[in-house]
Amino acid sequence: MLSRLEIRNFGVIEESQLDFQPGFTVLSGETGSGKSIILQALNFVLGEKLEVEALRAGSQDLEVRASFEVPFSPELELLLKHLNLDLDETWIFSRCLNRAGKTKAYFNNQVVTLKTLKELGSFLLLQANQHAALKLFDSQYTLGLLDTYGRHEELLSAYTQAYQAYLTSYQELKALEKQHQEAQEKQDYWTYQLKELTQAKLQAGELEKLEIKKQRLKNKVQLLEALSALLQLAKEGEWNLSEQLSQSLHWANKASRLDESFAASLESLESLNASLETLSQDWERQVEELSEEGEDFEASETRLFQLKQLEKKYAKSVEELIVYEEVLKERLAVYEDFEFLLKEAQQKLQQASSSLVKEANRLSQARKNSVKTLKDQVLGLLDRLALPKTRLELRLHSFEDLADFSPQGAEVLQIWLSFNPGEDLRPFEEVISGGELSRFLLALFLSAYPASPAKTFIFDEIDSGVGGQAAELMGRRLQELSQKSQVLAVTHLPQVAALAQWHYRVEKTVQGERTFTRVKNLEKEERVQELARMLAGLQLTPQALEHAREMLN
């Protein structure tokens, strides 16, 4: 239940604190006094949108705090676990808004999202007002009321899972069919590309090697000239380094046998001789390779041209073309498997469809069972609200085509009514007048939503257009509901206000050039005066005061 509401800089309310009790509480006041602002502030702190124009003139920010006492229940524990919040019997919400339009929200001093606020708020509050009446024009909303009444949560959850599985299977099949169509259109092209790349026998790094080889061939004559000169110096001609080193080794060997100090010189000469031999062999190999390369120059040029043309054609490097070749193989392999994949996806969709129809039928049957009892309960309450001749039908319209199914089920619910004997049943939105709307909405909400100590019911001028005996009957029903749940009602009717346990008067005053709204918790005699005002207006006559006192007693 709501235990406290604190409001700062919200519209005409500079600062106000309201402490609430269990049971039945009413808020009254003259038109324009600010009653709606209090409920607006409560909705804001529980996640509803608010424009910056709601800030009090001259203030930079507004803040609303709401405290709830929430008895433990498995449902509550599950909700908080889902939202990753700590279990606590006191819930304190806080939310502020600044001139820049920025908001901050807290739950028990922990920063939370607006989505979390709304989920928690929907658990705590049930509001009946003109906006809720407009929702009844939506057949899916009325279906939600029926499910709440019939407690179809498990059936609805099973249906929702089946519906999501069906959607997933349907989308997967459509995506596969699209891929298959695209593959059919491109198969010949992919086959041609794969053949071209396969025949090219691409190798990573080949292009770079060919570029290097081409550069070597361009310098072939100069390279051969240099290598020939080196070999001439090493093994032939006047200098013949190999012969010179051989003679040096002979004398160094002789010297080292005569004197050990020449051993180091001998080792150095042996190392030089080995190095020269290695270099000579390398030069000879390179001369041989250069001679042979000249024979395949045209082949290298042709290969280089082929690779560059492929790179240009596909706008990919050789390495990327090698990867693309594998991609083409996979695409064509998948295309070959498409018939199997399509058949498998079709079977999966068929299974999902069967499961969806099964769960839809289970939910539909439960709804059909609940429709009659809900109808009887609403009619019973309308009888007690001075609408005894009402005829009501809750019509479930079922869909055959799975494409018409929605996340809420395989049907919609429409309300058809007749309040007067001899009149035909007509859709809800065509027959509702002000007073009838109020009583029907009250009867529907009292039937659909079970009373609970964790819930707070808010009725915002739901008694509009009602008077006399009907007004008192409405008050009696709210009084009955308050025995199990906290009830807050904004009302203009003294018959309703007199039946409440607690009464707040919202009043607007002007001080200097500023407007202020204050909320006062009325004592008994103050309640008498407020009821008299509601009966007779601002002129409080002795008769109005006496009537008010009798009503209160």
Condensed to tens digits (0 to 9), the pLDDT of residues 67-111 reads 999 887 777 777 888 888 887 888 999 999 999 999 999 999 889
The set of long-range contacts for 413-419, using a CB threshold of 8 Å and a minimum separation of 24, is 413/139, 413/142, 413/143, 413/146, 413/367, 413/371, 414/139, 414/142, 415/136, 415/142, 416/392, 417/390, 417/391, 417/392, 417/393, 418/390, 418/391, 419/387, 419/389, 419/390
Considering the domain architecture, whether residues 203 and 99 belong to the same structural domain is answered as no
Supply the pLDDT for residue 104.
Answer: 93
Considering the domain architecture, whether residues 117 and 194 belong to the same structural domain is answered as no
Give the total number of structural domains in the chain. 3
Separation between Cα atoms, residue 8 and residue 442, nearest integer Å? 32
Separation between Cα atoms, residue 385 and residue 422, nearest integer Å? 20
- Residue 399 domain-assigned? no
- Residue 379 domain-assigned? no
What stretch of H or E contains 492? none
What are φ and ψ of residue 510, in 5° steps? -120, 125
Task: Specify the higher pLDDT residue, 29 or 290.
Answer: 29
Query: In the chain, what's the furthest Cα-to-Cα distance?
Result: 152
- Residue 474 domain-assigned? yes
| Per-range mean pLDDT, top range of 208-222, 356-370, 459-473 | 356-370
Answer for the pair 439, 387: CB distance below 8 angstroms, yes or no.
Answer: yes
Residue 332: count of CB within 10 angstroms of its CB: 17
Q: Which residue is listed with tokens 């596909």? A: 314
Q: What is the reported pTM?
A: 0.65
Separation between Cα atoms, residue 1 and residue 487, nearest integer Å? 9
Supply the pLDDT for residue 137.
Answer: 77
- Count the alpha carbons within 13 Å of 282 in the hemisphere toward its beta carbon: 7
Q: Using 50, 70 and 90 to split pLDDT, how confident is the model at 245?
A: confident
For residue 61, pLDDT beyond 80 = yes
In three-state secondary structure terms, 83 is: coil
Supply the pLDDT for residue 397.
Answer: 92
Considering the domain architecture, whether residues 491 and 538 belong to the same structural domain is answered as no
Considering the domain architecture, whether residues 189 and 63 belong to the same structural domain is answered as no
Considering the domain architecture, whether residues 189 and 329 belong to the same structural domain is answered as yes
For residue 167, pLDDT beyond 90 = yes
Q: Please identify, among 287, 310, 334, the residue that sits at the C-terminal boundary of a domain.
A: 334
For residue 38, pLDDT beyond 70 = yes
In three-state secondary structure terms, 110 is: strand
Contacts of 36 (CB under 8 A, 6+ apart): 460, 490
Separation between Cα atoms, residue 119 and residue 115, nearest integer Å? 6
Supply the pLDDT for residue 434.
Answer: 64
* Token digits of residue 512: 């200097």
Considering the domain architecture, whether residues 278 and 188 belong to the same structural domain is answered as yes
For residue 142, pLDDT beyond 60 = yes
Supply the pLDDT for residue 76.
Answer: 77
Separation between Cα atoms, residue 473 and residue 495, nearest integer Å? 9
Answer for the pair 443, 133: CB distance below 8 angstroms, yes or no.
Answer: no
Considering the domain architecture, whether residues 121 and 218 belong to the same structural domain is answered as no
* Token digits of residue 320: 């990327």
- Residue 362 domain-assigned? no
Task: Specify the higher pLDDT residue, 396 or 222.
Answer: 396
Answer for the pair 481, 457: CB distance below 8 angstroms, yes or no.
Answer: yes
CA angle, residues 50, 55, 56, in degrees to nearest 5: 150
- Across 121-135, 230-244, 315-329, 402-416, least confident range: 230-244
- Count the alpha carbons within 13 Å of 290 in the hemisphere toward its beta carbon: 20
Separation between Cα atoms, residue 76 and residue 72, nearest integer Å? 6
Averaged pLDDT for residues 25-37:
84
For residue 454, pLDDT beyond 90 = no
Residue 45 burial (CB < 10 Å; 0-12/13-18/19+)? buried
Averaged pLDDT for residues 231-243:
68
Residue 429: count of CB within 10 angstroms of its CB: 13
Considering the domain architecture, whether residues 85 and 211 belong to the same structural domain is answered as no
Report strand pairing: 90-98 vs 13-19: unpaired
Q: What is the mean pLDDT of the chain?
A: 85
Averaged pLDDT for residues 520-533:
92
In sequence order, what E strands does 345-483 have? 391-398, 411-418, 426-427, 456-460
What stretch of H or E contains 8? strand 2-10
Q: Please identify, among 278, 310, 334, the residue that sits at the C-terminal boundary of a domain.
A: 334
- Residue 90 domain-assigned? yes
Amino acid at 201: K
For residue 295, pLDDT beyond 60 = no
Distance (Å) of CA 297 to CA 106, 120, 290, 301: 79, 81, 10, 6
For residue 193, pLDDT beyond 80 = yes
pLDDT in tens, 480-524: 999 989 999 998 889 999 999 999 999 888 887 787 888 899 999
- Residue 150 domain-assigned? no
Considering the domain architecture, whether residues 515 and 541 belong to the same structural domain is answered as no
Answer for the pair 506, 22: CB distance below 8 angstroms, yes or no.
Answer: no
Domain that holds residue 194: 179-334
Residue 32 burial (CB < 10 Å; 0-12/13-18/19+)? exposed
- Residue 21 domain-assigned? yes
Considering the domain architecture, whether residues 41 and 116 belong to the same structural domain is answered as yes
Contacts of 518 (CB under 8 A, 6+ apart): 16, 506, 507, 509
Q: Please identify, among 311, 334, 357, the residue that sits at the C-terminal boundary of a domain.
A: 334
- Across 220-234, 426-440, 519-533, least confident range: 220-234
Considering the domain architecture, whether residues 550 and 470 belong to the same structural domain is answered as no
Separation between Cα atoms, residue 519 and residue 540, nearest integer Å? 21
Distance of CA 323 to the CA centre of its chain: 37
Quick one: which of 121, 35, 26, 43 has its CA closest to 478? 26
Considering the domain architecture, whether residues 4 and 30 belong to the same structural domain is answered as yes
Q: Which residue is listed with tokens 């594998």? A: 326
Answer for the pair 136, 445: CB distance below 8 angstroms, yes or no.
Answer: no
- Across 49-53, 293-297, 486-490, 527-531, least confident range: 293-297
3-state secondary structure 154-167: HHHHHHHHHHHHHH
What are φ and ψ of residue 359, in 5° steps? -70, -35
- Residue 28 domain-assigned? yes
Q: Report the CATH number that the domain containing residue 490 is assigned in CATH.
A: 3.40.50.300
Quick one: which of 118, 126, 120 has its CA closest to 85? 120
For residue 134, pLDDT beyond 60 = yes
